[in-house]
Amino acid sequence: MSSYSDRLSQRPLVLDGAMGTVIYQQGVFVNACYDELCLSNPGLVAGIHRQYAEAGADLLLTNTFGANRVKLRGYGLGERVAEINRAAVALARGVGGDGLLVAGDVGPCTGFAGVLTDAAAGEVEAAFAEQMAALAAAGADLLFIETFADPRELALAARVARATGLPVHASFTVNERGETAVGVTAATMVAALQADANVDTIGLNCAIGPAGLFEIVEKILPLASKPLLVKPNAGFPRQVGGRMLYMTSPEYFTEYAKRFIQLGVRGFGGCCGTTPEHIRQAARSIRGLSGVKRHAAIHVLSAAEARAVEPVPTARKSRFAAKLARGERVTSVEILPPKSPALTAVLEKVRACHFAGVDAINIPDGPRASARVSPLVMAMLIKRHVGIEPVPHYCCRDRNLLGMQSDILGAAAAGIENLLVITGDPPKTCEGPDVTGVFDIDSIGLTRLIHNLNHGLDFGGNRIDPPTAILIGVGANPCALDPEREIERYRRKIEAGAEYAITQPVFDADALLRFLEKADGASRHIPILAGIWPLASLKNAEFMRNEVPGVVIPDAVMARLERCRTRDEARDAGIELAREMIARVKDSVAGFQVSAPLGNVETALRVLE
């Protein structure tokens, strides 16, 4: 089995979720000693480990958070420390085998807001040493020291843990102000752990939910060169029917799981209130993220191979391509495919755009991982019945590499001349059965695949004649959580063969202009269309801001919508904001893609007037 450090270097880890929460859900009263259940009810503990393993966790924490002499003494179990900790490791290992990491879980000896005193230091050190020695001897892969508030106690625990020879993870907990219960800031805690040679990885866990913890991690991540792992609570508990329940849904939790990983966190799991369902959805989404899954390698054309077939020049691929090549401003309206096969109403909206002089219709591919009519089929019907050029999106989520190449060849045969290549959102939970993402390749690999087909070479290195002649568009996110990584990916897309780009909806002109300035440093310049979304209401803006990855809406925009008293007033304000965005950036972009909010094409056309 590879080591903890090896696993971290390969990809971000999925940690398990709460143990105590699930034990409580099984009907065990809170006044029981949950650590002792490793002896008296091993089936219950092993069953919870199994649920997390089946959910996709890479690391299982032993059920030993309070299994030290100081805490166990209150239950009359002070003499059973070694026995409980050995049993706990055996239970986790019995489920995880050699495939999953088993972390010996160690909590503080002091209370939640306790401060380690000189008088208690000797007893606490002995308690840590006894527990950690038992965990190490039983075969734990690392020691996971978590939920500490006092930096002195955490440093003591780390020093004792290092003496076992195992890797050491040290995690602390903060409130929404970014302070521990004893008033130490998160930045101070990170600085201390960063300098502590006894600590291998740093973490934050417990106390607050994913949204609050995300804001804190954004600030402290630049301070840490050691890998950072996070385990937020499932929000704040509420009393429901006499029970304290955590209300954050697995779907909401998962949205933040993706954001944490995209920010640069190297491990994500759950603390109080989280369940195997939270981890199942988070694991599935994290492993579908670009840069996490290992993608299939797509052949890079050699100079000789590139010259072997004369590709169709960009300007001759489509009317849309010709206009881009001439440097003329282009316009596009984004219209969602319907969720049923009835396309009459959609085609009427497309026809209105055509009559208004719009150059192309953008067709998303399962936006936010929803099931809709195939964008390729909708594109063919638009060409047949309306005549305006369609630009169907094509994402990597739903098909394997074989299916992708077949679709692209089929699209070319059907006369589809433009594709917008995207990685795609990981599958979301819906009313139906669980679905999985494929992601054999990401948008960079898919761009290279189409580029190769345009040069007469399929993914197996076989010649095709004639080659395809598809205009390759890619996405770009000027407001990405990690702007440097986004620019690097954008440049790699260009090197793979991208011919133009369309940005995510942008509400901050300065952010877009900064991105464009950095994009100029790419090896080859390609036209960029600005994504424009006319907000329909304050509720629409709040949804976009909080739920759609990659979208950043400034406070000033939110404040402007808050002042609107009616729906019509809010819609007009959204249109005016979109027009102002266009006016700010029109001299820096090749054109605009305007979304039709809630399917309202008239709003999109008003923006383009």
If you write DSSP's letter for every residue of 44-92 in order, what string do you get? Answer: HHHHHHHHHHHHT-SEEE-S-TT-SHHHHGGGT-GGGHHHHHHHHHHHH
- pLDDT at residue 430, as a whole number: 46
- pLDDT at residue 243, as a whole number: 46
- pLDDT at residue 427, as a whole number: 67
d(C-alpha 233, C-alpha 235), whole Å:
5
d(C-alpha 451, C-alpha 492), whole Å:
13
- pLDDT at residue 428, as a whole number: 60
Q: Extract the tokens encoding 248.
A: 């954050």
Parallel/antiparallel/unpaired status of strands 168-172 and 528-532 = unpaired
Within 8 A by CB and 6+ apart from 373, the residues are: 337, 338, 339, 340, 341, 343
User: For the stretch 344-378, what's the b/e string if a residue is b when 16 or more beta carbons lie within 10 angstroms of its beta carbon?
Assistant: eebbebbbbbbeeebbbbbbbbbbebeebbebbeb
- pLDDT at residue 548, as a whole number: 74
- pLDDT at residue 113, as a whole number: 67
Residues in the chain predicted with pLDDT less than 50, given as ranges, are 1, 239-246, 429-432
Query: Do residues 268 and 260 make contact, with C-beta atoms less than 8 angstroms apart?
Result: yes
User: What domains are there in the chain, each with its CATH number?
Assistant: 4-286 (3.20.20.330), 303-608 (3.20.20.220)
- Report DSSP state, residue 206: S
